[in-house]
Amino acid sequence: MRATPDLAETPTADYYRRMLLIRRFEEASSRQYMQRKIGGFLHLYIGQEAVAVGAISALNEADYVVSHYRDHGHALARGMDPNAVMAELYGKATGSSAGRGGSMHLFDVSRNFMGGYGIVGGQLPIAVGLALACKLKAEDRVVLCFFGDGAVNQGIFHESMNLASLWKLPILFFLENNLYGMGTRVEQSHAGGKDIYTRAESYQIPAVQIDGMDLTEVHQTTAEALTRVRSGAGPAFLEAMTYKLRGHSVADPSTYRESSEVDDWKTRDPIDSFREASIQSGAITQEQVDLIEQEVTTQVEEALRFAEESPDPDVATLEDNVYG
């Protein structure tokens, strides 16, 4: 249920709603994980919401999105049904992949959301393949490929960048640099320090580093990069400096980070910053904010109810979609 028709048509309100939905969904997921209703690994997107919403909102419906294993935020920003996403986390038959993919493998062809991938860097060649298909079929589509700083040290990163540049493929490489690859600080794993975007220059791919905590900057810079990509000039590369406000996964106590560091980044919370700036500029009112809060709370509660009441997969389907 939308708050009001006018509110739904306001871009600022829509951005805020999408970021808040991701935050509340992730907070609910964390609680359910601690109650053992969600199994496996659970990597939360809390703190990085401005990247997903800012970048994905610049796409066309026909464009593709390829993600990494911290994929809930991208899926929801792309418009996947929260009910189906939560049911997938629960491993239920009503999940987006019938409970077979789980947290790291969300997928929705109807949204051109071509999956989250558990293998670090594993999504890069898949994204390049999609971009090649778009070019060969002369389709007006681009591929937005998200990956983390840990993926940059994988050999497949360099192979993918090289081929995309050589073939001038319609792909935007989007690095979410949250400063840690699991528990390793980025400066300890990258010889060039934290400014990873300069690596793209080796492949003659234009690259820019941006503030990933600022939705407006993310959206505008992404839109500009996509204009180049759509023109046929080849790929582009963006590095968004952001921060995961929770540990690597829900099971990570995050003892490798100083509390003062986390507290400092919390003062730059992308949702709080966007809300306050929007209210101050008159782009949104406190009344609208309150309505959105109510709407999102109801939406997440419904997703939890749906997942709780959904059936487990039928054992008879155990070997469905298994090839060998």
pLDDT tens digit sequence for 265-287:
899 999 999 999 999 999 999 99
Half-sphere exposure of 310 (CA within 13 A, CB side): 25
How many Å is the Cα radius of gyration of the chain? Answer: 19
- Which whole number is the average pLDDT over 86-106? 96
d(CA 16, CA 6): 15
Beta-carbon count within 10 A of 101 CB: 19
With tokens 């993918």, the residue in question is 160
Q: What single-letter DSSP state applies at residue 108?
A: B
pLDDT digits (tens, 9 = 90+) for 2-45: 344 454 458 999 999 999 999 999 999 999 999 999 999 999 99
On whether the CB atoms of residues 26 and 44 are closer than 8 A, the answer is yes
Lowest-pLDDT choice from 19-28, 88-97, 180-189:
180-189
- Which whole number is the average pLDDT over 184-191? 81
pLDDT value, residue 241: 97
On whether the CB atoms of residues 218 and 201 are closer than 8 A, the answer is no
Mean pLDDT, rounded, of the chain? 93
The pLDDT-based confidence of 171 (bands split at 50, 70, 90) is very high
- Which whole number is the average pLDDT over 127-147? 98
pLDDT value, residue 191: 81
Q: Which candidate, 3, 78, 15, 18, places its Cα nearest to that of 283?
A: 15
pLDDT value, residue 9: 59
Report domain 5-311's class.
alpha beta
pLDDT value, residue 195: 86
Entry pTM: 0.94
Burial class (CB in 10 A: 0-12, 13-18, 19+), 167: middle
pLDDT value, residue 321: 83
